[in-house]
Amino acid sequence: MSDRGKLFLIPCPLGEGASLDSLSPWIEKIITEQHHFIVENEKEARHFIKSICPAKKQSELRLYPLNKYTTALEYHSYLNPCEQGFSIGLISDAGCPGVADPGAVIVALAHEKNIEVIPLVGPSSIVLALMASGLNGQQFTFHGYLPINQKERSLAIKKLERNAYQFQQTQLFIETPYRNISLLEALIQHLQSGTLLCLACDLTLPTQWIKTLPISQWKKIKLDQFHKRPAVFLVYSMSTN
């Protein structure tokens, strides 16, 4: 094959039980035609591929792991099939590859190697949360994870609030689901009563829960219900009081 292959960015549902309706119909065609896939978790990737293309033989799949244990030497070789004329699919564990996801290093490498990158349509928890929050969608910043250390986290929260007010900019961040409660408690403790907090849980799942309220009202909500539920947090402030 003389032509170079392409890198397809293939989104996944945001959790177990999520409908496949949030994915582009093109994804089935792409997965059917490809055999090479860069994945975060092999078991999850095989399950996803089977759900999209039940007739595809698992023995035909060539999966390349991309996680915290993958070395630079390893992932630099992952696009070799593209240079040999075979396209590759990049699959995240949940949502869109390259967005709050280790796949960004592969996309950057594809650009370095002049390999065409084709993003496919699918759900992004960050975008969905921003859409549903009612907060400023014209200016926003995503911070990933806040510090775990309590002192550092409290300073980060106060800085987020200052930035939200000073720049009129929605501040987005995420947390490991089993730390949701401690983060919510810290937000309620350190944010001012009028600051708006949106919590978007289980997006696209049957248990989806999205609410934007001032901190003064969050103090009245039972927080235990959010334990171990994938969530996006958004903060916005229109006042220093």
pLDDT 10s digits, 143-190? 999 999 999 999 999 999 999 999 999 999 999 999 999 999 999 999
* 3-state DSSP assignment of residue 10: strand
> Chain-centre distance of CA 10, in angstroms?
13
| pLDDT tens figures, 52-72 | 999 999 999 999 999 989 999
| Helix residue ranges per DSSP H, 55-149 | 72-75, 80-83, 104-112, 125-133
Is residue 241 domain-resident? no
Is residue 97 located within the same domain as residue 24? yes
118 φ, ψ to 5°?
-125, 105
Residue 5's pLDDT band, with cuts at 50, 70 and 90, is: very high
How far is residue 187's CA from residue 205's CA, in Å, rounded to a whole number? 25
Is residue 23 located within the same domain as residue 65? yes
Take residue 174 and report the two structure tokens written for it.
């995420």
| pLDDT tens figures, 189-221 | 999 999 999 999 999 999 999 999 999 999 999
Is residue 213 located within the same domain as residue 141? yes
Is residue 157 located within the same domain as residue 210? yes
Residue 51's CATH number? 3.40.1010.10
Is residue 2 domain-resident? no
Q: 118 with 7: CB under 8 angstroms?
A: yes
Q: Which residue range is the domain that position 106 belongs to?
A: 7-119
Q: What is the pTM of this model?
A: 0.91
Is residue 28 located within the same domain as residue 103? yes
Is residue 1 domain-resident? no
- Please give the pLDDT value at position 240: 57
* DSSP-assigned states of every residue in 91-111: E-SSB-TTSSSTTHHHHHHHH
Pairing mode, if any, of strands 140-145 and 62-65? unpaired
DSSP annotation of 179 reads G
- CA distances for 206 relative to 15, 101, 178, angstroms: 10, 24, 20
> Chain-centre distance of CA 114, in angstroms?
26
- Please give the pLDDT value at position 13: 93
Is residue 177 located within the same domain as residue 226? yes
Count Cβ atoms within 10 A of the Cβ of residue 71 and give its class: 0-12 exposed, 13-18 middle, 19 or more buried: exposed
Count of domains observed in the chain: 2
Residue finishing a domain among 96, 119, 142? 119
- Please give the pLDDT value at position 1: 43
- Please give the pLDDT value at position 22: 87
How far is residue 171's CA from residue 139's CA, in Å, rounded to a whole number? 9
Residue finishing a domain among 119, 142, 166? 119
Burial string for 126-163 (b: 16+ CB within 10 Å, else e) reads: bbbbbebbebbeeebebeeebeeeeeebbebbeebbeb
Is residue 11 domain-resident? yes
